[in-house]
Amino acid sequence: MADELRIGERPSLERPVLITAFRGWNDGGQGASLAGAYLARLWEAEQFAEIDPEGFFDFQATRPMVSLADGVTRKLEWPENLFFRSRIPDSDRDAVLLLGVEPNVRWRTFSRLVVDLSAALGVELVVTLGALLADVPHTRPAPVTGSASDPDLVERLGLQVSRYEGPTGIVGVLHDAFRTAGVPSVSLWAAVPHYVSLAPSPKAALALCERLGGVLGAPIDTAELTEAAESYQRQVTEAVSTDDETAAYVEELEQRADELDEESLPSGESLAAELTRFLRERESGNGGDAARGQ
């Protein structure tokens, strides 16, 4: 198992927080993975470790990709889970970013590797980023729900105690592993419009980064994401306007969203339940696969 975690050079960190984002089931509209990649670039994060994919992926389900480098050389890219480190701007603490792909198998072993490395690095807090498909309009800020199992975090950060029951992803397994290890954790979920599920959502990434800044107590520069989110909204609006039925449905979602204030915002799990209901009523599955919260 030790060989499955490859550490280049173990960094010395100050009060580190682990931030995770996985592509796959936890990543509706790629909102979480976009946010994670943005943070790594914004904070000029440096990779220091990785988890060998060989023992954690079914390569018939999550296939390696072949690409051309410089248009000539063929390059094989395996599904990755990489660890980065960086200083959090305007903060007295460091960040460890775990960015990658949700594994297919051996989740308990995978989680143990993450927990053990976090313990060795002195991680004090874990924040997972996720995105789920829901009945929300693309013309409004992406709703973000946050939950934590630690009562102090719930009260201090204005979070919720998760009461979700049902299937979970790797983030749910990680939260359970860190709870057992006595490390507090926070789960943030952004809602992505199900009717545009195949398009990457910078709006969800923007909302996650803004909420994460509140959790960290250090605002995150989201200027680039804001610009991308505005472009995304214009493009989706243009596409929606070509279909009268979809346009009417978006107007209905806008009215519902405008009637909600922050205190009455539905939880991530209730958003998932609402989407499940919607998809069952429309067996054609036009909204894509349902994503569920932790």
Residues 89-119: tens digit of each pLDDT: 999 999 999 999 999 999 999 999 999 999 9
Query: How far is Cα 182 from Cα 204, in angstroms, rounded to an integer?
Result: 30
- Confidence (pLDDT) at 259: 80
Query: Which residue carries 């490390």 as its tokens?
Result: 183
* Domains of the chain (ranges, CATH numbers): 2-281 (3.40.50.10900)
Residues 242 and 236 sit within 8 Å (Cβ to Cβ): no
Residue 276 confidence (pLDDT) above 90 = no
The two structure tokens encoding residue 175 = 């939260």
Question: What confidence category does residue 128 fall into, taking pLDDT thresholds of 50, 70 and 90?
Answer: very high
Tokens 């201090």 locate to: 156
pLDDT at 270 over 70: no
> What residues have CB less than 8 Å from 118, skipping those under 6 apart?
18, 96, 126, 178, 183
Instruction: Please determine, for residue 287, whether its predicted confidence score (pLDDT) is greater than 80.
Output: no
Q: How confident is the model at residue 2 (pLDDT cuts 50, 70, 90)?
A: low
Sign of torsion, CA 43 99 172 277?
positive
Q: Is the pLDDT of residue 274 over 80?
A: no
pLDDT at 292: 38
- Per DSSP, helices labelled H in 217-243 are 223-240
Q: What is the mean pLDDT of residues 139-163?
A: 86
Residue 289 pLDDT level (bands cut at 50, 70, 90): very low
Which residue bears the tokens 């775990």?
Answer: 98
**pLDDT tens for each residue of 34-90:** 999 999 999 999 999 999 999 999 999 999 999 887 777 888 999 999 999 999 999
Q: What is the pTM of this model?
A: 0.87
| CB-count exposure of residue 261 (10 Å: 0-12, 13-18, 19+) | exposed
Mean per-residue pLDDT, 273-283:
48
Is the pLDDT reported for residue 140 higher than 60? yes
- Local confidence band at 182 (pLDDT 50, 70, 90 cut-offs): very high
